[in-house]
A and B are shown apart, each in its own frame.
Chain A
């Protein structure tokens, strides 16, 4: 009696696959529906942004930082701004810092909304995605009024922000926050607590706390594994020490600690925390200038610096070396998505093909941020 001959199937998922969140490729070795392994193949969106920094100067690099992570461009703006300020030892005015905090927290809302929306879409429910995008559009309207662009903001400058809050903007923002909270509850009733949805997410892609630290995960991916680490709280920058907010961590209510559902719920809870921060920031914002006096011909003294920003995708590091000229000698960006790609190969072993989509969405990887 001969045995049935079976063989592994090699599938190319991407770079034009609908749910790989940009131009990303996975080489999937599958046995039917069950994956042996999924090997991420990155580099399709590499645009040499770090090299460009060496050619365009400190002020001119600001719009390029938008393109590092176009979903939350405020954080990359802030990261470059903070790195340059640290090199040249510039003090940002208080109101400027508040403007930055407000803009970044709104951007965090927008980014997390996109993340939880695409999570729903990758699972097969289109409605949560459009509802999340609808709310994100309103945030984009607000940010557009603030800085004139909806995606590539270029809002911040070295030494502060380019525009002060427009008149009447504060009231609009508060009205939006009042509108947003019930919508979030409705969103949860629609999808987050849906049994089918929980079944799809719970116990998928479990990352233990040790693994999360070893694989250098950051942001919601790290906090989903139960580790309470948030740069805003633990290494406060900007004016975050003046706000009262919690750092939500995964608790494993629906499955094992550190599964996709935990990472998803951390994002949902961070939305609430961001609303809390925004309310405080809009209430406490002081009067004064928003931009320090910085020369157009910006030449920081020779030296190097490393700063960390808690972006929507976690701890974003900006490393800059100055040689005293008007152009940085070297710039390096450390992003959360790239670290998250590293763990996919390990987590994918034994998952189903449908779970790979869940896993990518739950790690919230953004293709341009992986490659830069």
Chain B
């Protein structure tokens, strides 16, 4: 290609490609914008449109908390603090403290995964701004509460049954371990998640 041909080719290319680009942008005048006008100019609250698995601020349903401490151990940054006492005579586990530091929490979802009843779960709430760091610590236990004891059959208590249903649905959303693992060093009693952990925790008390 000669220099003159290149010169005019450059002009032609510039004009035609700008022409195409302008056509693309002009077509966008006739399209809807893609902005979510959070927080006020939206037909429904954003929280209500979030998917079921959304990992928002943690919440705990103490009614179904078994006090197994699985979440406390799973948390990689130790933002969950639980205190349980077991009455040696009545064998009743009492939860006297269940704090989650929302400032530290990184919403990874590792705590809600091992929960046997789905007591600790992520909500779709994400508006967590507050005025002091102290108020960011969610204290779920006001009065010491007895831990929930899983029953053999379906839950009969009318007050607890819907909460447990919600919790179990949340837990079942997680992938359940399939094929067994046959390598590595396996701790006795810690091989399977869920019920075993709970017993182990109870045994530690």
Residues A290 and B190 in contact in the complex (CB < 8 Å), given A89-B183, A89-B184, A301-B185: no
Q: Scoring B residues 37 to 56 as 1 if CB is less than 8 Å from chain A, else 0, what string do you get?
A: 00000000000001111110
Q: Scoring A residues 138 to 162 as 1 if CB is less than 8 Å from chain B, else 0, what string do you get?
A: 0000001111110010100101111
Q: Does B175 contact A164, Cβ atoms closer than 8 Å? A: yes
Q: State the CA gap A80–B193 with chains docked (Å).
A: 21
Q: State the CA gap A159–B52 with chains docked (Å).
A: 23
Most A CB atoms within 10 A — which of B114, B179, B190? Answer: B179
Q: Does B108 contact A154, Cβ atoms closer than 8 Å? A: yes
Chain A nearest CB: distance from B108 CB in Å? 3
- Which of A52-60, A214-222, A225-233 has 4 or more CB atoms under 8 Å from chain B? A52-60
Q: Does A290 contact B178, Cβ atoms closer than 8 Å? A: yes
Q: B186's contact among A147, A164, A295, by CB below 8 Å, is which?
A: A295
Residues A293 and B179 in contact in the complex (CB < 8 Å), given A60-B76, A190-B24, A301-B185: yes
Q: State the CA gap A145–B124 with chains docked (Å).
A: 12
Q: Does A291 contact B178, Cβ atoms closer than 8 Å? A: yes
User: Across the interface, which residues of A come within 8 angstroms of B18, CB to CB?
Assistant: 194-196
Q: State the CA gap A358–B193 with chains docked (Å).
A: 51
Q: Scoring A residues 92 to 104 as 1 if CB is less than 8 Å from chain B, else 0, what string do you get?
A: 0100100000000
Q: Does A289 contact B197, Cβ atoms closer than 8 Å? A: no
Chain A nearest CB: distance from B205 CB in Å? 19
Residues A88 and B51 in contact in the complex (CB < 8 Å), given A63-B76, A163-B173: no
Q: Does B114 contact A296, Cβ atoms closer than 8 Å? A: yes
A306 within 8 A of B: no
* B interface residue count range (under 10 / 10 to 19 / 20 to 34 / 35 or more): 35 or more
B25 within 8 A of A: yes
Q: State the CA gap A61–B108 with chains docked (Å).
A: 10
Chain A nearest CB: distance from B83 CB in Å? 21
User: Across the interface, which residues of A come within 8 angstroms of B192, CB to CB?
Assistant: 293, 295
A180 within 8 A of B: no
**Shortest Cβ distance from B185 into A: residue:** A299
Q: State the CA gap A34–B106 with chains docked (Å).
A: 45
A8 within 8 A of B: no
Name B's A-contacting residues (CB within 8 A). Answer: 10, 13-14, 17-18, 20-21, 23-25, 34, 50-55, 70, 73-77, 106-110, 113-114, 122, 173-181, 183-187, 190-193, 197
